[in-house]
Structures are given as structure tokens and as C-alpha cells.
Chain A
């Protein structure tokens, strides 16, 4: 599925007919609360990038319990274990700049049920070998520098989710409508 990255400041929703959730990132606590308590598509949150929110037990309890957000992204393996232990899905950020760095980053992955992977930049996923892809704990979210519908669709064949910007989501929706009309 697509996750549309948003800072939570706008009442943005996916275009009609598009199966997408919203990824709150680079936000702040009031905006996160407002977004989570408003009707809309399912939310995920990049917990390390919410100003005013710590990355600890209390913050996880607040986000998953009080706000009801079931998908949490973090750079911290211990936090990922905590979220998974509560029965939610956590996606651990893994930076993939070169093969050696990817190997090293994966060494700190807890590799347990409920903890998947955010691969950054997501665009690199198209260039990973099958063996490399197999080492990434699923589910996999591709995140970063994916700005065309073609790239997003291509990467979605390898990942379980793709994070995109609102403008890219709009172009995907528009192109899908075009495909629909063309097939009639």
C-alpha cells in the first residue's frame, strides 16, 4: 500500500479511490494529536521526528494506546521491540547507502515478529539484489526520493509499502484514473 507522508498540519486525505494511509513525520505533538483524533485514513507515525515527543515507553504508550496508532517507525531497535511487544507493528529505519553499510545496519535489527524495515532511501530498493532483499525483515516500507508514479509502482513490487509525497499520490491517482478510462 501507499503511505502518504504528511507533517500533520493539513487535513490532507488520499485521492478518491486510492488505497493509502498517512505517514505522519516531521510533525509536532499538537498536530499529531489533532490528526489522530480526526476522521481519516489509517495513520502511521515516525515517532523520532515528532517534536515534543520522546522515544520512550511513555511515548509509545501514548501513541499506540491513547491515539490508537498501530504502525510506528523508529531508528531505535529497543523501541521497535517495545512496540512489537505491545502487539503493534514497528518499522525500523535502515539506511542503505552501500552494501557494507546495509549489512552493518541490519546487524542491529531485532529480527522478530512485529518488527519490519523502513529502507531509506526507498528508491534504492529497485537496485538491490534478490539476496539482499531477502535479508530485509518484512514488512518493508520504502521511504525517500520516490517521486514518480512509475518508480512508486515498480518499488511496490518489491516492498510491502511505499512512502510518497502528496503530489506523487495525486499523480498516481490521476494516472490510475487515466488507465481506467483507457481500458473502457
Chain B
């Protein structure tokens, strides 16, 4: 009984994709944390969305609770956190852990993430120009809520090569200066994920 109430409380506080996106637009510099010792800094920062890129996926519930108690949202990277397989059961587990959004490079998982009521963020790894064209078809099919491109720092240089995905763009990877953040916003991204603490919570300006 107590377990169900907890789940209902967490589900009740979870925004839909539009709500998540609205928070992202309002606070576009998100904290990317890879170790638990960065959690306190991220909680104390102005960043309103925390991206968990490493850690134990089987023990996320208390971390998620802490983040929610701080009034922030949390996205977890299904492919990178330990202990969980990138499949439907792993998604369901993260849903029960209370996360608001799931990031994955696996496009086929996007519908499952959405059906669990979470925001689906698909990672697009920028490697070669020839892959961008094929990515368009794949991403049109997987229909994530948000597309995160990596390495985000080169987004301003490659935006002219990229097809129009028709999705809100996040940029992450090697973003370490305010100038880089501004250039990424100018290129059209709605948000940035960065592990560089001075940038957490930076406003759009």
C-alpha cells in the first residue's frame, strides 16, 4: 500500500513531455552528473534539470527523491548507468524509480519510454556527414520528444549540414564556456547539458 502511494506521488509530480520541455526552455543549462559526489553541487546549483549519466541504475530511487525534493527534474541515461539493460524492463524500472525523462541512443526504445509516461530523449552521435542523412529517417521513425546531439560543442559548426529533424535540440559534450553555450543557443538548441559546474543554471540571456 505504502509502495503504491509512493509511486502515485512520483507519477503525479512527473511532467509530460511538454511540461519537461517548458522547464528546459526556462532553465536551459542542465547539470550533467557522472558521479554521486557531484549530486550535492548540482542540487545546490541553479540548474533545474539534472542529467544522470553514470551510477547505479538499480539504486536510483533515493537520488531521484532528493532531486525532486529540491524542486528539480531528473533525466537518466539508460545506456550508461550500471545495472540496467537498455530494454523495456529497464525503462519500466526507471519509471518506477521516478525519473522524469530517459535518454538513450536506441531509437526503438523511444515509444516505450513515452508509453511509460516519461519524456523520451534520443541521443544522436555526430560522427560523419554521411550518417546524418540516414539519421533523419531513423529519428522520424522513433519520434523522440527531444533530440540530444553530441558532441554538442560542434553544433554551431555542423548545424548547416544537419537535416531538419523538427524536434527540440539539446546539445551535450565538451561544452565548457559561456561563449560555447551562447553559440549553441544561437544555432537553435533549446538547451545544453554540461558537467562544467559554473555553467549550471546559466540563463539564456
Task: List A residues at the B interface (Cβ < 8 Å).
Answer: 26, 95-101, 120-121, 123-124, 127-129, 143-145, 147, 151, 165
Contact = CB atoms under 8 A, between A and B. Distances in A.
Given A99-B174, A128-B174, A147 B161 contact: yes
8 contacts: A95-B127, A96-B151, A97-B151, A100-B54, A121-B126, A121-B151, A127-B154, A145-B154
Contacts of A97: 125-126, 150-151, 173
Interface residues of B, number: 23
A97 B124 CA distance: 10
Given A98-B173, A99-B173, A99-B195, 18 more contacts: A95-B125, A96-B151, A97-B126, A98-B150, A98-B172, A98-B174, A100-B34, A121-B151, A123-B157, A127-B154, A127-B180, A128-B174, A129-B176, A144-B128, A145-B126, A145-B127, A145-B128, A145-B158
Interface in B97-152: 125-130, 150-151
Given A97-B173, A145-B161, A121 B127 contact: yes
Contacts of A143: 128
B189 interface: no
Given A128-B174, A147-B161, A98 B128 contact: no
B150 A123 contact: no
A123 B126 CA distance: 10
Nearest to B32: A98
Interface of B: 32, 34, 53-54, 125-130, 150-151, 153-154, 157-158, 161, 172-174, 176, 180, 195
B150 A165 contact: no
Contacts of A26: 130
| Residue among B32, B125, B127, B180 with the highest chain A CB neighbour number at 10 A | B127
Contacts of B195: 98-100
Contacts of B176: 129
A127 B128 CA distance: 17
Nearest to A123: B154
Contacts of A120: 127-128
Contacts of B128: 120-121, 143-145
Contact of A165 (B54, B129, B172): B129
Nearest to B131: A144
Nearest to B123: A97
Contacts of A99: 173-174, 195
A108 B202 CA distance: 35
B36 to A, nearest CB: 14
B132 to A, nearest CB: 9
A102 B3 CA distance: 40
Contact of A127 (B32, B126, B153, B161): B153
B23 to A, nearest CB: 22
Contact of A121 (B32, B34, B154, B172): B154
B147 to A, nearest CB: 14
A97 B54 CA distance: 15
Given A100-B195, A145-B128, A151 B151 contact: no
Contact of B154 (A101, A124, A129, A165): A124
Contacts of A129: 176
Contacts of B154: 121, 123-124, 127, 145
B129 A98 contact: no
Nearest to A151: B157
Contacts of B173: 97-99, 101, 124
